[in-house]
Chain A
Amino acid sequence: MKNNVGKKLIGTLAIPVIVAAVLWGLCAANGRSMIANRTSFNYFVIYTAIVMITTMALSINLNSGRFDFSLGAMAVLASVLSSKITYSILGGGAGSAPLMLALNVVVGALIGLASGGLYVLLRIPPIITSLGVTLIYEGVSFTITGGKYVMTEVRSASLSAFAGNWYWPLSIIVVVLAVIVILFDHTKFGYDYKALQNGQKVAVNTGIREVPNALACYAICGALMGIVGFLNMSRSSNINGGSLSFGSIGIMFTAFLPMFIGGYIGRFSNEKLGFLLAAVCMSMLNSTFAVFSNQISASAQSIINAVLLVVFLIYLNNEGLLRKLLSPRKN
């Protein structure tokens, strides 16, 4: 039993600890600090939250074979609408950030639900629906903003205060993690979700109602991406309303590596906790890139990310073989 707990603990923490050791070591060896001050830590926590929540949103549908290109477009549209509504009510005054966050969640859930509704209604493969939805949501955001950066409606002392205190994004991480763990691991919805994920036909034949489950998944994804949109706004104080022709899908690709890392960590503990730890790893990598930004260009950063993704997947998909090759032969 003790062994089992120890193995789980090691398996859960191995990757984050190794990543932390390597990256901290790298920074220290160059006389630099990965997280130099409090503001740097604030950004670290915000980025961790962004990656964790995006990864969750991606994995919810992807684990069920539903590929969704529209995550980025949902984040942008939710932010555009919520910032405009908030500004029209509070004019950038006190309470703007909480109202904006609440609206981002609600609007995100609604547009997620609309996306799911389209999928359920049309009954065409989700990847195709998501292509159409991405174009529609990008088009709507562009039409509302005229393609401009939204700045006036976003900027407020309230939002700056949110971004300037790490415990706010940390609270979001804790709440989102708790809600998602409860929803997917401890409710009937979650059990149905897993049943549908592992045996769609059998689950439907046993009476599980697939359509409400799928709609709920899309709504949850939308709400999560609404939060991501809010976190992005708090970090950059603007929204780029000018994305067209799939310009918004980039955010999805950043979530692949943490999704696979999270899945691996999940073998030893909980997948969602894995996503958090993977997001911490990605955030450490991001902070290290920032430290060495004058030595490692943006192009080099994307190449490093791509290589890490491939190398990790090579390990993940050839683990058995590697273990066989590396273990001592018994003659």
Chain B
Amino acid sequence: MDKNDKLAVSYRRRQTLITVLPFLALAGLFGALCAIVTAKGYRLDMYLKIVFNEGVVLAIVATGAVFIYTLGSFDISLGASTLFSATLGVLTYNATESLPLMLLVIFAVAVGCSLFSSVLASVFHIPVFVTTVAMMSVLSAVAAQLITTYGGALGGISIPSEVVKPLDKPLFKIIVLVVFSALCIFVFNYTKIGRRQKFLGGNPVCAQLTGISLNKYAIIAFVMAGLGVGIGAFLTLVYTPSVTTTTAGSIGMNIIVAIVFGGMPISGGARSRIYAALVGGFSYILLNNILMLLVDSNAGYGISQIISAVFFLVVVFVTGINYRTQILPR
């Protein structure tokens, strides 16, 4: 075996390690949570259900968002879209008492908001990120106005809990998660959509020169993200049938963290992985829960955030170790 072969083998090994690292991190964190929960004498079954409930909305919204991130774009308005969709869903139910209509409105609004962002960006050639910053402001402001006007003294709006209570079961959520993930995996890995989106994300100029339409695939990406937002908004209501101005407030930024945590580059392109959001989303939630179990007290809020951030940077550093370039990354 000559030197080049050895280098190639070493490179492949590192590549394999990097590919499995997010899974190892997930497994490690899962193991750590189980160990800590049991060592402290807490109920593991309940904890696993809680972590699943906390992670499922983030994982689903982030999985849809992978399509946008693959293109090298990113959307910071997804949390606000989730809030806005859920708000209009609740108002629809309260006006009609129809669950199907509520669902329809949630999905129509989620996909509509997403499409609006992408069309605005495509037609008027505005940077996607800036469009989504504007959308975030508008959607949050309108949702807040609706919630506080209709919520009155309650400070929020809600639907009767018995409407969605039967669906607040792990099995239902697992089915939703599996079906949506399967759909995304199929579109991303087994159709030309995913391949072309990766091409566009990796080298937009080349991709467009070969006849691939950025606008078309951007719109598809935003529709997929909108579907994720719709499901996320519905599952949010299934877990707690109320909406306040702060509902889903942290999702927008957590999506970025989840996707990167799952081993996908933020710049998108060929290394994009549909499973990244799923793995990263649950890893991030597991990490936060572990830190909550280990660190308490008021000042601990800050400390656990610092530890979480350091862990995040370490994971991203290790997963990107094979892609170091001479020049600084941008």
Contact = CB atoms under 8 A, between A and B. Distances in A.
> Interface extent on A, as a size class?
35 or more
B124 A256 contact: no
A139 B266 contact: no
Contact of B324 (A123, A131, A141): A123
Interface string B302-314: 1111101110110
Contact of B299 (A128, A131, A143, A307): A143
B133 A309 contact: yes
B8 interface: no
Nearest to A300: B141
A200 interface: yes
B125 interface: yes
Interface stretch (A28-36, A52-60, A114-122, A160-168): A114-122
A64 interface: yes
B16 interface: no
- Chain B contact patch, size range: 35 or more
B159 interface: no
A201 B327 contact: yes
Nearest to A305: B137
Interface string B278-319: 000000000000000000001101111110111011001100
Nearest to A118: B313
A309 B329 contact: no
B266 A128 contact: yes
A183 B167 CA distance: 61
Contact of A136 (B126, B127, B142, B309): B309
B329 A124 contact: yes
A244 B309 contact: no
Interface string A130-150: 011111101111110011000
**Chain B interface secondary structure, helix, strand, loop or mixed?**
helix
B218 to A, nearest CB: 15
B260 interface: yes
A214 interface: yes
Interface in B226-282: 250, 253, 256-257, 260, 265-267
B328 A211 contact: yes
A143 B300 CA distance: 7
Contacts of A127: 256, 266
Contacts of B304: 139
A141 B309 CA distance: 14
**A interface SS class:** helix
A132 B312 contact: yes
A54 B304 CA distance: 29
Contacts of B310: 132, 136
A317 B267 contact: no
Interface string B89-102: 00000000000000
B145 interface: yes
Given A139-B304, A310-B120, 16 more contacts: A123-B325, A126-B329, A134-B309, A135-B308, A135-B312, A136-B305, A139-B309, A146-B299, A200-B330, A214-B328, A299-B144, A303-B137, A306-B137, A310-B131, A313-B126, A317-B124
Interface of B: 120, 124-127, 130-131, 133-135, 137-138, 140-142, 144-145, 250, 253, 256-257, 260, 265-267, 298-299, 301-306, 308-310, 312-313, 316-317, 320, 324-330
Which 6 pairs, one residue from A and one from B, show the smallest C-beta to C-beta distance? A142-B302, A135-B309, A65-B330, A143-B302, A139-B306, A139-B305
Interface of A: 64-66, 118-120, 122-129, 131-136, 138-143, 146-147, 200-201, 204, 210-211, 214, 244-246, 249, 253, 256, 297, 299-300, 302-303, 305-307, 309-310, 313-314, 317-318
24 contacts: A64-B330, A118-B313, A119-B328, A124-B320, A125-B265, A126-B328, A127-B256, A131-B312, A132-B312, A136-B306, A136-B310, A139-B309, A142-B299, A143-B306, A147-B301, A204-B327, A210-B327, A244-B301, A244-B302, A256-B133, A302-B137, A307-B134, A317-B126, A318-B124
